[in-house]
Amino acid sequence: MALTSAEYWNQRYLNDNTPWDIGQVSPPIKAYIDKYIPKDAKILIPGAGRAHEAIYMFREGYQEVFVCDWAPEAFHYLQGEVPTFPKDHLIQSDFFQLEGQYDFILEQTFFCAINPSQRLAYINQINILLKPGGWVAGLLFNRTFTKEGPPFGGSKDEYESLFSSSFPVYEIVMSHLSIEPRMGFELFFSAQKRPII
Ligand SMILES: C[S@@+](CC[C@H](N)C(=O)[O-])C[C@H]1O[C@@H](n2cnc3c(N)ncnc32)[C@H](O)[C@@H]1O
């Protein structure tokens, strides 16, 4: 089974072999949501998995939260936690085939799960999925991993060169709100798609 196929990930959920899952909304992303995302925004969380960020936002009154994952098992947790979450906001799809337009896209351990050869395609797809002036924000690993990925690591320099190729405004800084095991190993980034002027 290819390490980066939908079947591979679905099996990980079926086996409950999900060490990436921190079991809560990621604190740096929660802080970003609370500060910057208006309640009427349309939000996409790609590679959402058990989607703790979506559960948090839905409970906080955000109505336009969409989650995408190609592993159908991933959505069961969210459906159990928030049974009224709209079914048509659960998008079982390959992120790279997704269509639509969003005000915000949130990144939490999805980028590190895709093959590094797809990183430029990720940036291009994020740009397509954002409305003009929309924002992508979230966490990226600031480290390498000794075992073969996923997860695949990276560095601030690499990410800056990727983001600067497509986004006129972006910021990548050390995350100071990471959970303890990831403290010092995560960068928080935000980038804005060029607005129409
Ligand atoms: C490391 S997990 C992270 C899940 C969740 N964001 C979290 O932090 O708990 C990566 C997720 O991305 C999904 N995924 C990987 N490649 C994908 C793709 N091309 N399209 C959609 N989902 C994908 C996997 O099924 C898996 O749920």
Mutation pick for ligand 1 pocket among 9, 66, 68 (CB with most ligand atoms within 8 Å)? 9
Q: What is the pLDDT of residue 182?
A: 96
Q: How confident is the model at residue 2 (pLDDT cuts 50, 70, 90)?
A: confident
24, part of any domain:
yes
In ligand 1, the atom with minimum distance to the C-alpha of 47 is: 12
Cα 164 to ligand 1 centre (Å) = 24
Q: Is residue 181 part of a domain?
A: no
Question: Which regions of the chain does DSSP assign to beta strands (E)?
Answer: 43-46, 65-69, 90-92, 102-107, 130-141, 169-174, 186-192
With a CB cutoff of 8 Å and minimum separation 6, the contacts of 62 are 37, 39, 41, 43
Asked if residues 159 and 142 have their Cβ atoms less than 8 Å apart, the reply is no
Per-residue model confidence (pLDDT) at position 84: 98
Give yes or no for residue 21 CB within 6 A of ligand 1: yes
* Total domains present in the chain: 1
Domain membership of residue 176 (yes or no) is no
Rg (CA), the chain: 16
Model confidence at 1, pLDDT cuts 50, 70, 90, reads: low
- 17 pLDDT above the threshold of 70: yes
Whether the CB of 70 sits within 6 Å of ligand 1: yes
- Residue 43 placed within a domain: yes
User: Is residue 96 within 6 Å of ligand 1 at its C-beta?
Assistant: yes
For ligand 1, the distance from its centroid to the CA atom of residue 159, given in whole angstroms, is: 19
Q: Is the pLDDT of residue 127 over 90?
A: yes
Task: Classify 99 as helix, strand or coil.
Answer: coil
Instruction: Answer yes or no: pTM beyond 0.95.
Output: yes
Domain that holds residue 77: 6-138
- Dump pLDDT digits (tens) for 23-51: 999 999 999 999 999 999 999 999 999 99
The rounded Å distance from CA 6 to ligand 1 centre is 9
12 lines ligand 1 (CB under 6 A): no
Q: Which atom of ligand 1 is nearest to the CA of 69?
A: 22
Q: Is residue 127 included in any domain, yes or no?
A: yes
Tallying the residues shown for the chain, one arrives at 197
**Spatial separation of the C-alpha atoms in residues 53 and 65, rounded to whole Å:** 10
What digits encode the pLDDT tens for the residues 160-197?
999 999 999 999 999 999 999 999 999 999 999 999 88
Q: Is residue 112 part of a domain?
A: yes
CATH number at residue 66: 3.40.50.150
Residue 174 within any structural domain of the chain: no
Q: Tell me the per-residue pLDDT of 75-126, one tens digit each, with 9 for 90 and over.
A: 999 999 999 999 999 999 999 999 999 999 999 999 999 999 999 999 999 9
Atom of ligand 1 nearest to the CA of 71: 25
Query: Residue 25 domain-assigned?
Result: yes
CA of 51 to the centre of ligand 1 (A): 10
